Amino acid sequence: MAALAHEAVRSRRRMVALGIVSDRLREIGLEPILVGGGALEYYTAGGHATGDVDLALPHGEDVDRAFADLGFAKEGRFWIRDDLELYFEAPAPAGLPGEDAPRTVVEVDGMKVVIIGLEDLLMDRVRAWVHWNSAEDYRWSVHLAAVYADRLDWDYLASRASDNPEERAALQRLREEVYRLREGAE
């Protein structure tokens, strides 16, 4: 972990650290999933920058001990390595909706990192846009949908919003807007 001090690119430092943390947590039977801003940073190839690493991960003494073994200090809801400017948080518990959905698995320096699936990340942004009236999340929803329009599973997205008319309407608006943008670019 100390070798990361020489990694100048913060996003890469976070991903390598996540690989190390993931390997350590797998030793105790846990599979952390990158969510939130870190996942958005991955899917936007750095277009969105974040300062911390959000994980879907249960809380408990075993998790705290695993982070401590790697030199992290627990401060409130964060595990911190000030020397490496690393801040991990587990705002989402294991058992996320969509956890049985496809996820993205990447290899970072020979280590496996699991990232929330694109559709579930998009639904998180759509929900923030709809329920919190977040213009920033609307912008990232459009960005993600435009970049990945050809590979998005729109039926899956619709099923995730099936119980909420506002979310269904937002997805429909998003889909129409993305296709309008794509037609204008051709």
Q: Kindly report whether the global pTM for this prediction surpasses the value 0.85.
A: yes
Around 91, how many Cα atoms within 13 Å sit in the side-chain half-sphere?
A: 10
Residue 28 has pLDDT above 80, yes or no: yes
Distance of alpha carbon 138 from alpha carbon 122, whole angstroms: 10
Q: Is 137 in contact with 128 (CB distance < 8 Å)?
A: yes
Contacts of 158 (CB under 8 A, 6+ apart): 168, 171
pLDDT digits (tens, 9 = 90+) for 74-129: 998 899 999 999 999 988 766 655 556 679 999 999 999 999 999 999 999 999 99
**pLDDT attached to residue 92:** 72
Output phi, psi for 35, to 5 deg: -130, -175
Hey, CA dihedral for 137, 43, 114, 102, is it positive or negative? positive
Q: Is 109 in contact with 16 (CB distance < 8 Å)?
A: yes
Q: Is 119 in contact with 161 (CB distance < 8 Å)?
A: no
Q: Which residue has the tokens 């705290």?
A: 64
Task: Count the Cβ atoms, other than its own, within 10 Å of residue 19.
Answer: 18
Q: Which pLDDT band, with edges at 50, 70 and 90, does 8 fall under?
A: very high
**pLDDT attached to residue 182:** 80
Output phi, psi for 119, to 5 deg: -65, -40
**pLDDT attached to residue 100:** 62
**pLDDT attached to residue 96:** 58
**pLDDT attached to residue 94:** 62
Q: Is 41 in contact with 11 (CB distance < 8 Å)?
A: yes
- Rg of the chain taking only CA atoms, in angstroms: 17
Residue 179 has pLDDT above 80, yes or no: yes
